């Protein structure tokens, strides 16, 4: 990994603020916890990530269409989806530190510690045995590793049973039995475990009598489910087909921390893929493969991704996994891929009294389709790119630079046009070039400060190319093109710029690799 120091997250947060990517929300009032505003460069990066996802999902798959549903939905939606009853976090307080934790997260952290021990044993053995090392064999035969794994499985099973039965006393007992201490104070003085619903609610209507409780959607997916038949009929969609959506979601997260990783207002990019019952596992595997490929062609490093199967399935799923990314805080969930069965459509049918079935002309019968969902947090994707691309470099001449190696098609600004001096017609020539290029690319013009300082500012926001207009330009219509990552410069005719830039900064250059 390019960046692995402990301070990386702090540096990324400071950099994001200094260069107009992310600001704390309502900062002049000291901010609001777990809410953030995207600045002038942040919004461009965010829009480019959205475009990359949207084009891949809807443009490269003929059987996927998009929608944009309202955030407010009929309150029964959330009863049917199970969120009113089951979208809870089990919380526990430490009586000494007064800090609140998710009980399941405390237990998962304890399991992760055991898994770390297993990984250390495996790494040691791999070094010892070299090329002849058989990982699978070692995992199943080494007595110490087998013992660790047995312990981890037992804890997991106890946690799963307790969660499934909503047995909060057993969940607490597991924390006590494992002697889990408050990570901050080290105290083991715990309260009971309580359930806490994560949905925000508000009231609809101006007169109190008429007002009814409605929720801010905690996932965008339900807007897709309730529109399933509208889209299927008006789009004449045939199963298998998908509906994609990008939009805001809201969760009253208790432990909201780690910058934009866990927010109370965030954005999701979700796709529900409707399939024939019984074929869901085939499509689950299909989407796992497609989605990991979408990530890997960005070039953030294949080793920075891994799949993590869910052992404790959400109330709607029969199989589920995460794509985890190596964030500055370690491997964490970036995207979820879930086989949601017919849970949602079946319940919406039940609660609405409306048939939500598909007539399959091949089989000559109606059924409620099964659903495979891909769900990625836009803000987490933003953090993955920002933290991975943040690089501090020492240069040959002893100076330093901070550069964001953002994948070029996603960079907020694609090219800067910089007249070497602010006279002799160079600014006018630069503006001429800018007027042409800005039809295709997000450009930036700057004529203040030395050229070196201007290059550094562009490096800091991840601009892949700088065009320098000098006196030679005035006589032969050529410019220098400086590459962000290598800092190499080449001389190029102005007429060749558009096609040269297209090769590496266009969205299609990225989509073509998938």
As measured in angstroms, the least distance from the Cβ of 330 to ligand GAP is: 15
CA distance 119 to 117: 5
CA distance 427 to 415: 16
Any alpha helices (H) in 315-467, and if so which ranges?
343-352, 378-389, 426-437, 451-461
Nearer to ligand GAP, 190 or 316 (CB): 316
As measured in angstroms, the least distance from the Cβ of 365 to ligand GAP is: 29
Nearer to ligand GAP, 250 or 455 (CB): 250
As measured in angstroms, the least distance from the Cβ of 33 to ligand GAP is: 12
As measured in angstroms, the least distance from the Cβ of 222 to ligand GAP is: 8
As measured in angstroms, the least distance from the Cβ of 387 to ligand GAP is: 14
Nearer to ligand GAP, 219 or 459 (CB): 219
Nearer to ligand GAP, 284 or 441 (CB): 284
Q: Which residue is nearest to ligand GAP (CB)?
A: 377
Nearer to ligand GAP, 148 or 325 (CB): 325
Angle at 67 between CA 64 and CA 72, to 5 degrees: 145
As measured in angstroms, the least distance from the Cβ of 166 to ligand GAP is: 19
Nearer to ligand GAP, 53 or 266 (CB): 266
Nearer to ligand GAP, 333 or 440 (CB): 333
Cross-strand pairs, 503: none
CA distance 373 to 315: 14
What are the E-state strand segments in 50-197? 64-66, 88-94, 100-102, 190-197
Nearer to ligand GAP, 271 or 411 (CB): 271
Contact between 320 and 339 under an 8 Å Cβ cutoff? The reply is yes
As measured in angstroms, the least distance from the Cβ of 381 to ligand GAP is: 7
Cross-strand pairs, 365: 360
Nearer to ligand GAP, 36 or 148 (CB): 36
Nearer to ligand GAP, 388 or 480 (CB): 388
As measured in angstroms, the least distance from the Cβ of 220 to ligand GAP is: 7
Strands 64-66 and 241-250: parallel
Contact between 180 and 107 under an 8 Å Cβ cutoff? The reply is yes
As measured in angstroms, the least distance from the Cβ of 492 to ligand GAP is: 40
Closest CA to 408 of 481, 484, 466: 484
List phi, psi (to 5°) of 207.
-95, 130
As measured in angstroms, the least distance from the Cβ of 374 to ligand GAP is: 9
Contacts 24+ apart (CB under 8 A), 310-319: 311/156, 311/160, 312/104, 312/156, 312/159, 312/160, 312/163, 314/338, 315/82, 315/86, 315/343, 316/81, 316/82, 316/340, 316/341, 316/343, 316/344, 317/341, 317/343, 318/280, 319/280, 319/281, 319/284
Closest CA to 34 of 273, 253, 339, 311: 253
As measured in angstroms, the least distance from the Cβ of 51 to ligand GAP is: 18
Closest CA to 65 of 219, 293, 239, 245: 245
Helix or strand holding residue 273 (H, E)? strand 265-275
As measured in angstroms, the least distance from the Cβ of 202 to ligand GAP is: 18
**Is the sign of the CA dihedral 82, 83, 84, 90 positive or negative?**
positive
| Exposed e or buried b per residue across 361-393, where buried means at least 16 C-beta atoms within 10 angstroms of its C-beta | eeeeeebbbbbbbbbbbbbbbbbbbbbbbbeee
CA distance 93 to 479: 63
Any alpha helices (H) in 297-377, and if so which ranges?
343-352
Q: Beta-carbon neighbour count of residue 403 at 10 Å?
A: 21
As given in the structure block, the two tokens for residue 367 are: 């059924």
* Interface contacts to ligand GAP, rule CB under 6 A: 219, 221, 251, 253, 262-263, 266, 268, 270, 333-336, 373, 375-377, 379-380
Nearer to ligand GAP, 262 or 429 (CB): 262
Nearer to ligand GAP, 56 or 465 (CB): 56
């Amino acid at each position: 990994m390019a960046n692995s120091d402990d301070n990386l997250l702090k540096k990324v947060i400071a950099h994001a603020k200094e260069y107009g990517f992310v600001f704390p929300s309502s900062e002049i009032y000291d901010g609001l916890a777990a809410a953030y505003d995207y600045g002038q460069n942040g919004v461009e990066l965010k829009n480019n990530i959205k475009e990359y996802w949207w084009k891949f999902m809807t443009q490269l798959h003929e059987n996927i269409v998009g929608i944009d549903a309202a955030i407010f939905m009929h309150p029964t939606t959330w009863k049917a989806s199970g969120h009113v009853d089951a979208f809870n976090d089990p919380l526990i307080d430490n009586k000494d530190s007064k800090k609140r934790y998710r009980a399941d997260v405390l237990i998962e952290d304890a399991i992760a510690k055991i898994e770390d021990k297993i990984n250390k044993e495996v790494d040691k053995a791999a070094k010892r045995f070299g090329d002849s090392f058989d990982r699978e064999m070692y995992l199943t035969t080494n007595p110490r590793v087998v013992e660790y794994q047995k312990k981890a499985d037992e804890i997991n099973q106890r946690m799963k049973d307790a969660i499934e039965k909503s047995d909060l006393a057993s969940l607490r007992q597991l924390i006590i039995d494992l002697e889990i201490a408050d990570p901050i104070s080290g105290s083991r003085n715990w309260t009971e475990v309580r359930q806490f619903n994560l949905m925000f609610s508000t009231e609809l209507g101006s007169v109190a009598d008429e007002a009814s409780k409605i929720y801010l959607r905690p996932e965008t997916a339900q807007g897709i489910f309730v529109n399933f038949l509208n889209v299927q009929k008006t789009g004449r969609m045939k199963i298998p087909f998908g509906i994609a959506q990008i939009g805001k979601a809201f969760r009253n997260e208790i432990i909201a921390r780690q910058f934009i990783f866990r927010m109370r207002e965030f954005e999701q990019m979700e796709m529900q893929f409707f399939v024939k019952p019984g074929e869901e596992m085939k499509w689950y595997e299909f989407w796992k493969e497609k989605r990991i490929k979408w990530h890997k062609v960005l070039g953030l490093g294949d080793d920075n991704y891994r799949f993590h199967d869910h052992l404790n399935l959400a109330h709607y799923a029969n199989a589920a996994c995460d794509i985890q990314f190596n964030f500055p805080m370690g491997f964490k969930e970036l995207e979820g891929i879930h086989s949601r069965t017919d849970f949602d459509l079946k319940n919406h049918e039940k609660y609405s009294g409306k048939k939500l079935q598909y007539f399959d002309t091949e089989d000559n019968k109606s059924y409620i389709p099964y659903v495979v969902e891909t769900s990625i947090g836009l803000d987490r994707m933003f953090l993955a790119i920002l933290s991975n691309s943040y690089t501090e470099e020492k240069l040959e001449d002893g100076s330093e630079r901070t550069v964001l190696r953002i994948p070029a098609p996603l960079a907020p600004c694609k090219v800067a046009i910089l007249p070497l001096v602010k006279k002799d017609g160079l600014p006018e020539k630069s503006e001429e070039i800018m007027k042409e290029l800005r039809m295709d690319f997000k450009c930036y013009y700057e004529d203040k400060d030395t050229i070196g300082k201007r290059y550094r500012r562009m490096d800091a926001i991840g601009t892949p190319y700088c065009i320098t207009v000098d006196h030679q330009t005035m006589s032969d219509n050529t410019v220098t093109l400086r590459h962000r990552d290598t800092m190499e410069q080449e001389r190029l005719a102005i007429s060749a710029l558009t096609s040269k830039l297209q090769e590496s900064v266009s969205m299609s250059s990225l989509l073509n690799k998938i």
